[in-house]
Homo-oligomer: A and B are copies of this chain.
Amino acid sequence: MTMTLKMSWVASANSATTDFPLNNLPYGVFSLTASTPRCGVAIGDMILDVAACEEAGLITLEGGPLLQSGVWNPVMEAGAPVWSALRARLTELLAEGAADQAALAGHLVPMADAELHMPFTVSEYTDFYAGKNHAFNVGTMFRGAENALPANWLSIPIGYNGRASSVVVSGTPVTRPWGQLKGPNDALPRFDTSKRFDLELEFGAIVGTPSKGMVSVQEADDMIFGYVLLNDWSARDIQAWEYQPLGPFQAKATATTISPWIVAKAALEPFRTSTPERERPLLAYLTEPGPMLYDIALEVGLAPEGKGETIITRTNYAEMYYSAAQQLCHHTTSGCSMRTGDLLGSGTISGPTKDSRGSLLELSWGGKEPLTLDTGGTRSFLEDGDRLTLRGAAKGDGYRIGFGDCTGQIQPAIDLPAWAQEEN
């Protein structure tokens, strides 16, 4: 499989630094001033209006039209043969020397002029806990290093159901949440704003084709349409008080931000890599028939309001202990149906070193070792006005496959409504 740059007649795509060369062709939804959201594909610094292309007969898909709804779900549901056909046709249309350049040029819009929207409708959102360094770090803080990993962790891709209504696209402001908090020395809880609001650097897998009943790891991999960057914003103080015995709830329901571009599985194919050697053998149903992780370099920038950015972590999706395919397979073991648009968060991705940890909880070791920012000041957890940006790219020979920035700025908490104020 080629890992070199494919040349396009869209000049800005022929660069080692663009996130969107012809090798990528990620799926997004955009609008121009006053237009309704439309399906588009990123190429260099332009967006191809594929809804218009379909209307003009330049793209014809089996079972179509599939590009007119303003979300990618119809294509996702159509299945792998349609995904391949669409990618092949897009490559043909945008490749150097393509026949239809004149017709297509009118359907290219500058990305700088476009607003980006949720690329798909999220059916349900499941978040996992499949980063071993993260699980070990968090476990060490809460239970000590000797009992850091839960007993089931090496056997089960641990996951919990999140809240689909909280998933938002990059750029959406994130408002600091209120919640029940109780300090370890407080007698009673109080209703207050979260003081330990955090990011979680994750990778999201999107289910394309639905399933009923148990599916194998291979079938699960085949069901996945593509991937996004994902920041699972987390209120650590709300979580600490609420999560026993049934898991995180409001601590994780404020927002989950995804990158605006869904990178197709096909674009990541050259970057497949294997999960690590097992410390405890997996049960047969979880064994992988081939490499199902991806080598994707990740970083997070934090910019205080009006100041420059500090890169607070650099890591790689290949650090995960379980792949999305293993997670999706496990998700179906009980007979749970999966649907087009289901989103699976990988779990926080932390590398083995201090500067590769995927959350402030770990980076500041629970607030005990605040980070120093390049622009001055420190951070234990997020402050109002902070802008967080996740970036990721698979790096080929002379090209990269990117996702676009996955960003969100922290807004101050809302004023407490009168009905929530204590009488004192």
Interface SS, A side: loop
| Assembly CA distance A242 to B420 (angstroms) | 36
Contact with B along A196-224 (1 / 0, CB 8 A): 00000000000000000110111000000
Given A284-B419, A420-B284, answer yes or no on A334-B247 (Cβ-Cβ < 8 Å).
no
**Nearest CB to that of A244 among chain B residues?**
B150
The reply to whether the CB of A295 lies closer than 8 angstroms to some CB of chain B is no
Contact at A245–B243, with CB atoms within 8 Å?
Answer: yes
| Pairwise interchain contact B158-A160, C-beta atoms closer than 8 A | no
- Residue A250 is within 8 A (CB to CB) of chain B in the complex: yes
From A423, which residue of chain B is reached at the shortest CB distance? B284
Residues in B whose Cβ lies below 8 Å from that of A218: 419
Contacts of A307 in B (CB 8 A): none
Q: Mark A210-253, 1 if CB is under 8 A from B, else 0.
A: 00011011100000000000000001001001111111111101
A250-B177 contact, Cβ under 8 Å, with A124-B164, A241-B152: no
Nearest B residue to A175, CB-CB: B335
A106-156 contacts to B, CB under 8 A, are 123-124, 129, 150-152, 155-156
Count A interface residues, CB 8 Å: 68
Check B179–A333 contact: CB distance below 8 A. Answer: yes
Q: Mark A314-346, 1 if CB is under 8 A from B, else 0.
A: 000000000000000011011111110000000
CB distance from A295 to the nearest CB of B (A): 26
Contact of A124 among B124, B151, B217, B422 (CB under 8 A): B124
Listed in ascending order, the chain A residues whose CB lies under 8 Å from chain B are 123-124, 129, 150-152, 155-156, 158-166, 175, 177-180, 182, 188-191, 213-214, 216-218, 235, 238, 241-251, 253-255, 280, 283-285, 330-331, 333-339, 414, 417, 419-423
